[in-house]
Structure 1
Amino acid sequence: MSANDHDGPDPEDRNNFEDLQRILGEMLSGAGGEGAALDPEQFAKAAGIPVDPQTLQGLFATLQGAMHNPSDEIDWSATRRTAIEVAGDGSAPADPAPALRAFPVATLWLDEVTDIGATPDAPRTLGRIEWVQQSVDTWVGLAQPVAESITGALMGALQNQMPEELSGALQGAAPMLRSVGGALFAVQLGTIIGKLSGEVVSAGDIGIPLFSGPGREGGALLPGGVAAFAEGLDQDPEAVTLYLAVRELAHARLFRHAKWLRLHLLTAITDYSRGIRIDTDRIQDLAHEIDPAQPEQIQQLITNGALIPPKTEEQEAAHARLETMLALIEGWVDVVTADAAKRIPGADAIAEMVRRRRATGGPAEHAFAALAGLELRPRRLREAAALWRLVADRSDVATRDGLWAHPDLLPTSEELDHPARLLERLGLSGATAETPEDDFDAALAQLLDGELPPHAGGEDGRGGPADDGAADDAGSPDRDPEGPRSDA
């Protein structure tokens, strides 16, 4: 029970609370005086957020709320407030017109290369703050299991290290300490989300469906992020915008078509995160290495993944399955985008930069990976793209896209390693990569050019090479393309 649970605070509880407040203040500020108070500026440094008056005011309110109204639940409103504050950096919004011009063209091109139709929701452009507001709940859901593990482990470590004379104070104020620890995690997560809003170019840029709900599933571009990405390329900005629009709408189509996919993917991520167990012994060892006068060490401790122990064998297997799913999604998007964007000048160069960016990620994304112990970058993207291409070449687009009808139909990790196994499962082992349409198109071109008599345009003439006469002469070894036909 905390001190503020009484109508009239018990003197002993009040003294315990003040003792713990003093201890926290000394830890974070390095001050050793009796009256040391919890310094929000030091906490801001520990959280890695900007030390400015507005941010400090919000942080101070968050910490006061955590200390005076303790709860076992983390107050994720601190994440939302901090993320919006970081995203609202005062920069001028980018022009949305190029993206709005690109969406209709991207829709038409995608209609030509995939059987998965357009989404009912119209694509949109978003600013940084809008992206934060519409995606923060998904980020919180991904990080919450880890946050609960970390705060629980920190409490366990504190209980083991607290001197006996303060054990009573700890018992009375444990909810307050847990709330403060959760508040620090929530603020750190909000900082990462706010910084991510300046790195992403689209709603599907991270590889997972961040948005859900009516009107939000049609895809979205962030003009500011698109402009920043185009600056690093020696390509026409309009072409870059159009390519990214094609890619984003392909991503949106896939998740809208495979209605099971979003829940399947987010459930897999959540299950993996819940399997993370914080190493209390490791926390105790690290606590001895922290200099209270340098609160940035706490921030580094949280964001460099030091609190996350090595993966167990079960987690390694779960992460491998998750990576396979992410690779299949991104590989399919890559293939469909390449087919749809082939008219864009420099499309191959843009695609390569997108792949590199997907493979490496940005600073804020790396911070989230360390904070939540979860890497969202698929390592097998190229293999997955090659597999989707192979299926379409050996069969057709309908067969390729039809594999998204159910999770049991998707290629497995073993089939990603050995594509022949997938072809065998699909009954495509004996199929060739060449399609009869190519020969038909050649024969049709001959007919239109007047090179092939109409009576020879049947099945016999369909598969032969171009010539200047009847189909029965197509295979004659004595035929001279430049001279009269041989009678042989």
Structure 2
Amino acid sequence: MNARLATLPSAETPRALDWNVAVGTAVRLMRPGPEVPRAEAERAVRSLRRFSVEAETHVRELTGLGLDLPVVEGDVVDRPDWARGAAFGLAELTGAALSTADSLPARGELMGEISARSAGMQAGVVLAYLGSKVLGQFDPYGESGVEGQRGRLLLVAPNIVAAQQSLGVPSDDFLKWVCLHESTHRLQFNAVPWLREHFAAGLGQLLSQMDGGNAELLSRLPNVVREARSGSRADSSPGIVGVLELLQSPEQRAALDRIIAISTLLEGHADHVMDAVGPQVVPSVGTIRQRFTDRRNGGGLLDRIFRSLLGVDAKIRQYAQGAAFTDHVVDRVGMTGFNAVWAQPDNLPTRSEITEPEAWIRRVHG
């Protein structure tokens, strides 16, 4: 199941966390995957590789994106290899973002008193938790090794098999369904030439706004409490994420809104595509979607708390909001009309337009 994994970049600047420590911590803490007979595991690996190619072909036919690009087989990995791949991608993304930031706070302001090593250990804990949950991931910043394609599609075989068994759905149908989602992400970044750099630049803008120390954050806390009590921020996210947003300055919030809007669009578009393609390719797509949605919203108390702290629950809301936006726009102006989002960065929906797709249609289509 080993992927083509690049060596993790070293921490060349004081502000970088130690990604090698993160990977080492994650691998030590990670639980083993489900026990599967060798023949079944080998079959799953072969199927995922084949379906990753077939899925992208179906996605291209539906969306019209990337019709002239080469189709590349996905990398089927186990949990430790996913952690290595994810860490490499995050290191590349943050490096690209930092290089585009207009100005950056000093190490003491950006990371406080946390050393690169201890930050790496904390990141490793997060990777260990996510490593047992993630089914697949497209890393736009990895190297595919294929001319005309950038990024790497990682399919975490143990997690996919475990989820399929837990849901009690047909194996091939579920594997194809997962591949449809991740192949959509690969097309988004490879068929839209400016998206990769635009996303990194957006993150860089967010980082460049993180120049307020703890004292500045604490000075805004009384206003946060008043706004929360009065309900004057009706558009804020609930729970911990909402409090963090309220603590941000207007500039920080605007930068975060841009990142959230892009992420919500990408995830929702992928969910729309996997279900729209599904009936012809995945006969049990309706059952899979219902059971998978229930699984996303489930979990024990500790699991739900951890998901909230990591922002996983906020990401789940992104899937729903982004899919609703895509469904509405495609219903109103068709897939060709929807594809105007990829024409230029200014055509991307704002965070408010994600929940008001008619506003986006009026702005872009007049």
Note the 1:298-313 alignment, pairs <5 A: 311-313=247-249
Provide, for residues 278-317 of structure 1, a one-character-per-residue CA deviation record: whole Å limited to 9, x for no partner. 537999xxxxxxxxxxxxxxxxxxxx99xx8962242333
TM-score (norm 1): 0.52
Partner of 2:112: 153
Structure 2: give runs of 5+ residues left out of the alignment.
Answer: 1-13, 99-103, 219-239
State the AA in 1 paired with 2:362: E
Is 1:320 the counterpart of 2:257? The answer is yes
Question: Map of 1:128-277 to 2, 5 A cutoff?
Answer: 128-140=79-91, 142=94, 148=107, 153-154=112-113, 181-204=115-138, 209=139, 211-215=141-145, 217=151, 219-273=153-207, 275-276=209-210, 277=212
Whole-Å Cα distance in 1 between the matches of residues 307 and 86 of structure 2? 14
Identity fraction in percent? 21
Distance in 1, matches of 2:17 and 2:87, equals 15
Deviation at 1:97, TM superposition (A): 2.4
Shift of 1:341: 0.9
Structure 2: distance between partners of 1:383 and 1:309: 18
- What is the correspondence of 1:72-83 to structure 2 with a 5 Å cutoff? 75-83=18-26
Aligned-residue Cα RMSD (Å) equals 4.1
Q: Which residue in 2 is equivalent to 1:336?
A: 273
**More displaced, 407-416 or 326-335?**
407-416
Contact 2:140 2:189 in 1 (8 A): no
Secondary structure, in 3 states, of the residue corresponding to 2:163?
A: helix
Q: Is the 8 A contact 1:192 1:367 kept in 2?
A: no
Higher RCO (CA-CA < 8 Å; seq separation 6+): 2
TM-aligned CA deviation for residue 375 of structure 1: 8.0
What whole-Å deviation, never above 9, does each CA across 1:366-404 have from its counterpart, x for those lacking one? 769857x89861635434323323333333322222421
CA distance in 1, matches of 2:121, 2:323: 38
**Shift in alpha-carbon separation, 1:102–1:72, aligned structure 2, 3 A:** closer
Number of aligned positions between the proteins: 306
* Residues 1:357 and 1:401: Cα distance change in structure 2 (over 3 Å): farther
Q: Is the 8 A contact 1:132 1:193 kept in 2?
A: yes
Give me the whole-angstrom Cα distance separating, in 1, the residues matched to 2:330 and 2:257. Answer: 25
Structure number, greater radius of gyration: 1
- Take 2:163 and 2:270, find their aligned partners in 1: how far apart are those partners? 19
The residue identity in structure 2 corresponding to 1:214 is: S
Give per-residue Cα distances to partners, 1:90-114, cap 9 Å, x unaligned. 8768431231342343234223311
The TM-score normalised by the length of structure 2 is 0.67
Equivalent position of 2:60 in the other structure: 111
| Closer/same/farther in 2, CA of residues 266 and 367 from structure 1, 3 Å limit | farther
CA deviations on 1:11-39 (whole Å, 9 max, x unpaired) are xxxxxxxxxxxxxxxxxxxxxxxxxxxxx
Alpha-carbon spacing, 1:370–1:102, altered in 2? closer, same or farther (3 Å)? same
Letter in 1 for 2:124: G
Deviates more, 1:240-249 or 1:89-98: 89-98
8 Å Cα contact 1:278-1:309 kept in structure 2: no
CA distance in 2, matches of 1:365, 1:270: 30
Query: Which residue of 400, 403, 415 maps to 2:338?
Result: 400
Displacement of 1:134: 2.1
Matching residue's letter, 1:127: D
Give the direction of change, closer, same or farther, for the CA distance of 1:311–1:88 in structure 2 (3 Å limit). Answer: same
